[in-house]
Amino acid sequence: MAPPNPVPEHTIERTREYEAFIEELRSFHEERGTNFDPEPKMGTMNVDLYQLFNYIVENGGYDKVSDEKLMWRKMCEGLGLMRHNAPADAYTLKQIFYKNLAAYEIKKIHNQEPPPPEILEFTTAKGGSLLTRTLENFQAKGRGDKDESGDDGTPSRERRADETPGSGRASRGLREAPAPRVIFHPDTNSSRQTRQPSGHQPADANTPSQPQSHPHHRHPHHPHPRPQPMSQNNTPIPVHAAPHPHPNRGGASHGFNPTPLDPASALVQNYQPPPPQQLQLRIVDTPASNPDIFTRGQRMLRQPPSYTSSSTSTLIRASIPAGSLDGPNIYERCLLALRSGIRAEQAYGLNHLVKISYERGDKYKFSQFSGLAEGLTEFALGVGSLFYDVEWAISNDPELDEGAIGDLDGINGSSDILERIAQLEPKDVQDNFQPAEFTDHLTLITEAVLTIRNMVMLQENAWFMAEYPTLKDLLCILLCLPNMDIVVELKHFALDIAEQITPYLVLDSDDALYKTLLAQLSSNDRGTILTALRAIDRISMSHPTETNKLSGVPPAVLQNLMDWLLLNDDELMDSCLDFLYQYTAVVPNLEVLLRCTNVEHLVMHLTRLLSHGAKRTNKEITVSEAHIAYDVPSEDQVAPIPRDLLERLLSMEEHERCYAWLRCFFEEDPDSQITQIAIWQAYNAAFVDPLKRINRGMLNAADFIRNISTVYQTAGAQIVRDQGPNGEVQKFIIRGIKPRPHPISPEGREYFQCSWARVPGSQVKCGVLNLSVEKMWEHILMDHIGETRGEDNKFPNREGLFTCSWGICTKYRKSTKLTLVQLMVHIKTHLRAEEALHIAAQHKGSGADMHATTPSSASSAPKRPMPKLRVLKPANTIIMTYEETASVRDERNPNAPPQAAGIPLSAVLILRNIARNVVKTDSEEALLKQQRLQQGGDDSDDEGGPAAGKGIWNERLFRPVMQRLWEVFTENRLLAPYITSLFQLLERD
């Protein structure tokens, strides 16, 4: 029996996949805040983490491998990492995977959030169950249970069989639980004898005192019992009663045997049980009734005891569980710090609020923390005192009509906030140098606004803040701050907040926030313009019945939008088009656009954008199929050998050359045959002269015949008898193969022949074989037409008299004045058709052969030599040009065809809005009235009169671009439906 194959020694294979994996793993650990060793060591060997990760994942992952005994040893053996100490190697490998790859496996393979590093990377590799490990269950296990697996935990010495009590075999990794300790509690009662009630007597010195009452049966006049000390397992032990020793466990009272009571005692004889007492029931917190308090109580019970004194005061303090007086959580702590007015506390709270809002933004909600939105807004309003002599304050007095300039209406919002800001006198604030107190205060205000910005990224928070009127006043104040570098970040945060809350607002043209956002469009900052445009585009997005009409847009802003469309900035262009689409949907807005801007240029530019990012592709469509004919070749006729194939075969040695020639020129066919002399003469004629020129020999006839059955096992030499003119003759044949109609290359590609006439007008074809259309095209250009390459290795495009002698082509049969490019484009149509028909004929021929070899006809069917195709009429084809622009799939119907999207779609929608609404404007009516007056008629608008036909503005705007619109309609299939609706609007007008 052969020995098993040894596992190769473990080495690091530094492939591209390995390098990419290590970089991704490094980034993962940097984000997680843990240490990462890209090449950990096991002894003297470096471990390949990429190979280790794939091997462990293939075997089920960390948890599955850890759950099976001795599985980590098998992993060491499979990876070639096993050394001399198997337990130590297994634990080292497990520790390497645990520290570097365990959290990555949970994130990437199981798509779960890994446990925090405090209970994963920062601990030892004990046990498994990482997918279900949490802070609660891991801490409980860490204090009570111990995983003592020899392979999963720290390697330890195995216990002998005789060391395990009650078992005759070794119990590997198990330990006997130690006996619980009985803590000594001194008697704190008074040493003075007290009188006992009737029927009771003091206990003997050697008799343990009996408990006064059951823990659940308290005496009525003792409603508050004394605090009881806690044992090691957190079980209360009465101070006045010693614990009963277990008979099978050792300890301080192991050898103590109490004196039994005398059965003849009068007290025993006269004992009467006490009457039943009513139990005092109390509510118990359970996971079902009160899960929060129950979980908190369980967490406090797991806290270690913190008392050692036996005095009464210390005992009372120790009875209070640790962690029960923790105070408010971090969320409430930050909120209270923010509202405290103490600058140090506010800095602490805002620092943590920024981090919480960024990391826990999906769970941190304004609705769950009363006063958080008000506290952040009030603190952010302190920016007014930094740049103006004003203290902004929120007033919730409904009867406040006119207060100070800094009193903001907290109920309905301040409608005159912009007028108030305009009345303020700015302070002399330097942009480059500020006092430390100014900078610290501005930093805290920025953190407050950043917290609001992070939180409104959650949809529920954005809806909540949209209902808070004071936030709109704050945004107006922030966006109207002086144009200084120190407030740029603050303004961007304010614009981000506006972008998130505007979908839930209905702003008219007189609203202060709407005017403020429009004013930002005059900025030179690209980020400010983009965010302001997105905020305006989202106004009333969730209120389709209360759409903002975007009225009151200054003409300068409209001109800026048209100028920005000329920039090579897709993001800015997309935002401008979204704004114009909503703007042109309202007729009065289009009237302003006609009067204040050059709409003709806008329409021309929008038409140009219909092909933005387009890719033009050509597709050849066959109008009529080609007509072909088939000539049946002789069964002994072998195709000539191409020049390039001859050179490749000459470079080979015998017998490899013989094998390759047979595969290239013959194929298997059980019903075909070829004479031995014919196949030998074909091979001899192909190689005898070339081999003589290079002084190399070739096979003899006998070896060649034997090699045929080596290449084609179904072929064999036979002798058949045939009737000839002089009687019966013997014929030496090879049955089972037939010549190919066209040879193939050693890679399996088939050659096709040149059909160019050797002499113009003759039927003798060139017959040169080539593998590709490009080679055949170059052969015709150089060998038949006689063109040569120029100095730049290109053929000059000269003009002359040319003819086409391919097949039976009649288009250029006579000499025609053409350029060389025109002629070769025509010839290429022949080559493409020849190639396609050649492939089709090949498939048809193979199908005929397959049907001919069915069992029912194999014996009687005649031999069918492979036909040779001959093109009678080439196919008639046309080339169509398609234009493809941006597209998306419908999420509701993924199987539907792609739909138009992006900048071309926005452009055609704006054009459609202009064509629909321009005829409804006052400018259109003024042009019609002017036209009627020029024609000498009245200005009536009766049906059928001069004013019945409209569309003067459409004629002026769309007539110059109509040709381009038709081109896009015919070439762009995605935009064709939209342009069709545009044409319908124009035709109606």
What is the pLDDT averaged over residues 166-173? 38
What is the pLDDT averaged over residues 755-766? 75
What is the pLDDT averaged over residues 586-595? 90
Give the range among 159-173, 626-640, 787-801, 811-825 with minimum mean pLDDT: 159-173
What is the pLDDT averaged over residues 903-908? 94
Give the range among 296-310, 345-359, 853-867 with minimum mean pLDDT: 853-867
Residue 185: which of 243, 233, 255 has the closest Cα?
Answer: 243
> DSSP character for 162?
G
Residue 775: which of 852, 834, 861 has the closest Cα?
Answer: 834
Give the range among 711-720, 862-871, 934-943 with minimum mean pLDDT: 862-871
> DSSP character for 432?
S
- pLDDT one-digit tens code per residue, 521-531: 999 999 999 99
pLDDT at 499 over 90: yes
Q: How far apart are CA 710 and CA 716, in angstroms?
A: 9
Give the range among 124-133, 397-406, 439-448, 732-741 with minimum mean pLDDT: 397-406
Which pLDDT value is given to residue 1?
41
- Give the Å distances, CA to CA, from 588 to 548, 583, 775: 13, 9, 66
CB 561 within 8 A of CB 598: no
Which pLDDT value is given to residue 271?
53
- Give the Å distances, CA to CA, from 914 to 82, 734, 908: 78, 81, 10
Q: Indicate the residue type of 647.
A: E
Residues 6+ apart with CB under 8 A from 607: 907, 911, 961, 964, 965, 968
* Phi, psi at 459, each rounded to 5°: -60, -40
Which pLDDT value is given to residue 916?
92
* Phi, psi at 739, each rounded to 5°: -65, 145
Confidence band of 770 (pLDDT split at 50, 70, 90): confident
Alpha-carbon torsion angle 861, 863, 868, 871, nearest 10: -20
Domain ranges of the chain: 16-144, 329-483, 644-732, 900-988
Residues in the chain: 989
Which pLDDT value is given to residue 725?
66
List Cβ<8 Å contacts ≥24 apart for 451-454. Answer: 451/350, 451/353, 451/354, 451/357, 451/376, 452/373, 452/376, 452/377, 452/380, 452/493, 452/497, 453/493, 453/496, 453/497, 453/500, 454/354, 454/357, 454/358, 454/361
- pLDDT one-digit tens code per residue, 612-668: 999 988 888 887 776 655 444 455 678 888 888 888 888 888 888 888 888 888 888
Confidence band of 270 (pLDDT split at 50, 70, 90): low
What does the DSSP assignment read for 867-898? PEEEEEE--EEEEEEEEE--EE--TT-TTSPP
Q: How far apart are CA 690 and CA 646, in angstroms?
A: 9
Which pLDDT value is given to residue 639?
80
More confidently predicted of 748 and 321: 748
pLDDT at 497 over 50: yes
More confidently predicted of 305 and 67: 67
More confidently predicted of 559 and 828: 559
Which pLDDT value is given to residue 174?
41
Could you say which of 1.20.58.340, 3.40.50.300, 1.10.150.60, 1.20.58.100 is the CATH number of the domain covering 16-144?
A: 1.10.150.60
Give the range among 195-209, 356-370, 447-461, 578-592 with minimum mean pLDDT: 195-209
Helix (H, G, I), strand (E, B) or coil at 96: helix
CB 514 within 8 A of CB 533: no
CB 796 within 8 A of CB 819: no
- pLDDT one-digit tens code per residue, 385-398: 999 989 898 888 77
Tokens of 390: 């004003």
Global pTM? 0.48
Q: How far apart are CA 868 and CA 633, in angstroms?
A: 7
Alpha-carbon torsion angle 552, 553, 555, 556, nearest 10: 140
Helices marked H in 786-921 — which ranges? 820-852, 902-917
Q: Token match 């590093």: residue?
A: 117
Tokens of 830: 């022949």
Beta bridge partners, 738, equal 667
Which pLDDT value is given to residue 821?
81
> DSSP character for 728?
E
Which pLDDT value is given to residue 869?
53
Tokens of 12: 């690091």
What is the pLDDT averaged over residues 449-465? 93
Tokens of 434: 């500020």
- pLDDT one-digit tens code per residue, 15-51: 888 989 999 999 999 888 888 888 888 877 888 888 8
Tokens of 338: 């923010």
Q: How high is the mean pLDDT of the chain?
A: 76
Which pLDDT value is given to residue 400?
63
Give the range among 317-321, 581-585, 791-795 with minimum mean pLDDT: 317-321
Residue 829: which of 846, 812, 849, 850 has the closest Cα?
Answer: 812
Confidence band of 272 (pLDDT split at 50, 70, 90): low
What does the DSSP assignment read for 745-791? -TTSPBPEE--BBSSTT-S-B---EESSHHHHHHHIIIIIS-----T
Q: How far apart are CA 904 and CA 577, in angstroms?
A: 10
Q: Of 123-137, 148-162, 448-462, 828-842, where does the model show the most confidence?
A: 448-462
Given the DSSP bridges, would you call strands 816-819 and 799-802 parallel, antiparallel or unpaired?
antiparallel
More confidently predicted of 419 and 319: 419
Helix (H, G, I), strand (E, B) or coil at 733: strand
What does the DSSP assignment read for 253-281? TTT--PPPPPTT-HHHHT--PPPP-----
The helix (H) or strand (E) run that includes residue 45 is: strand 45-46
Q: How far apart are CA 683 and CA 658, in angstroms?
A: 8
- pLDDT one-digit tens code per residue, 284-334: 777 777 777 777 777 666 655 443 334 444 444 444 455 445 667 888 888
Determine how many CB atoms are found less than 10 A away from the CB of residue 723: 8
Give the range among 509-513, 655-659, 796-800 with minimum mean pLDDT: 796-800
Give the range among 576-585, 706-715, 758-767, 818-827 with minimum mean pLDDT: 758-767
Which pLDDT value is given to residue 576?
94
